[in-house]
Amino acid sequence: MTTRLAPLLACVLLSMTAQAAEVEALKAGVFNPAREAPDFSVRGSDGAPLVLSRYRGKVVLLAFGYTSCSNVCPVTLAVLALAHRKLGALGSQVQVIYLTVDPERDSAERLKQTLASYDPTFIGGTGTALQMAAVRESYGVTAEKIGTGTDYAISHSSFVYLITRDGKLRALMPFGHEADDYVHDISVLLN
Amino acid sequence: MRPPRKRPWIVAVAVAALAAVAWAAFTPVSFGSREEPFEIPKGTWARRMAGNKVEILPSHVYLTLGIRDVLLLKNLDDVPQIFGPTLMMPGQSFRLPFEVASSYQFACTAHASGQMTVVVDAQPDTPWRRLVWRTRRIFRVVA
């Protein structure tokens, strides 16, 4: 019995050690234990339904923002695009998903145009106000409308979520980190 | 003419003060761990819902690069808690390292005020910086 259990225990120990090393190694904030990333199905900027669970097998970088954002989102998207380029061939194993916090103005077409100017592989997601609010709630993302009329702004969470290839919400990168930090963490998660 | 009166206690105090300053300036700052841990205890949400004022985390958390620069939050409560955009499930922890000295604002439902500020100081790597760091730390503890 002991002989049979030994390899199993060794595997569990190795897995725990690897997980602890991963937690220590990342530059992003790390959840422990990692939970299942809440799944969602919204309208994708490519015209098809955007379902998170369809990206199993890739590391997903999930960001929340809106195309009219003038300060935070352009920086986040530029950093993600640079990181994606720096990853080279590994970039094909990474998917950036950008969900709007402003479904009122951000149509799928508008998201597509904006994201294409950063990286054509990025996918945006939009939907009804209720749909998007439910997704935000499941991730703990805040978004608050500031101003009235058509020229309003939205104060929103600026973190980027890092989802592992097996669909676990492992970490989040605070705003202000450079592309190299993303490259570093993505490499850790891919390995 | 009378010789000046000796006041040995003044000399002793001056020497002690100098020794304290020298120690504060020249002894490297160190902690056992780089993590600053905080726990949201079980029952926090229930106590708050019952109308009790519950402050678990300080409104300001002070970290220092290279010495204690990792914020470690543990949610031991029975319900999810939000720290910034971080939704922590019951039993989950969140480890956030900092690499840039700055002041960071976070929304936090574990606070009655809903706000938390993390101040990250630069590494005190010279005698003067160590002196300033230790003096500031005393004032923060007293305040």
Q: Is residue A176 within 8 angstroms of chain B, CB to CB?
A: yes
Look at B86 and A30 and tell me if their CB atoms are within 8 Å: no
Question: Rg of the Cα trace of chain B?
Answer: 21
Q: Which of B38, B83, B96 to mutate to test the interface with A (most CBs of A within 10 A)?
A: B96
B30 bridge partner residues: none
Look at A23 and B84 and tell me if their CB atoms are within 8 Å: no
pLDDT band at B101 (very low <50, low <70, confident <90, very high): confident
Residue B4: the pLDDT is 66
d(CA A182, CA B25): 37
d(CA A26, CA A55): 22
pLDDT band at B54 (very low <50, low <70, confident <90, very high): confident
d(CA A162, CA A54): 16
Structure confidence by residue, pLDDT tens digits, A110-121:
999 999 999 999
Phi, psi of A20, rounded to the nearest 5 degrees? -60, -40
Phi, psi of B117, rounded to the nearest 5 degrees? -120, 130
Q: Is residue B12 within 8 Å of B46, Cβ to Cβ?
A: no
pLDDT band at B2 (very low <50, low <70, confident <90, very high): low
Nearest CA in chain A to B81: A140
Task: List all residues of chain A from 70 to 109 with a beta carbon under 8 Å from chain B.
Answer: none
Look at B85 and A27 and tell me if their CB atoms are within 8 Å: no
Residues of A in contact with B104 (CB under 8 A): 174
Q: Which of A101, A136, A141 to mutate to test the interface with B (most CBs of B within 10 A)?
A: A141
How large is the average pLDDT for residues B72-79?
Answer: 91
Pick from B85, B93, B100: CB nearest A141: B85
Residue A149: the pLDDT is 85
pLDDT < 70 regions, chain A? 1-24
- Which of A9, A48, A39 has the alpha carbon at shortest distance from A163? A39
Helices within chain B (DSSP H only): 8-26, 44-49, 127-142
Helices within B1-126 (DSSP H only): 8-26, 44-49
Q: Which of B35, B95, B100, B118 to mutate to test the interface with A (most CBs of A within 10 A)?
A: B95
Residue B60: the pLDDT is 86
How many other CB atoms are found less than 10 A from the CB of residue A5? 10
Q: How far is A107 from chain B (nearest CA, A)?
A: 24
Helices B8-26 and B127-142 cross at an angle (nearest 10°) of: 110
Dihedral angle of Cα A81, A85, A90, A96, to the nearest 10 degrees: 10
Structure confidence by residue, pLDDT tens digits, A77-90:
999 999 999 999 99
3-state class (DSSP) for residue B31: coil
d(CA A65, CA A154): 9
Structure tokens at B28: 């490297």
Q: Is the pLDDT of residue B114 over 90?
A: no
d(CA B69, CA A74): 28
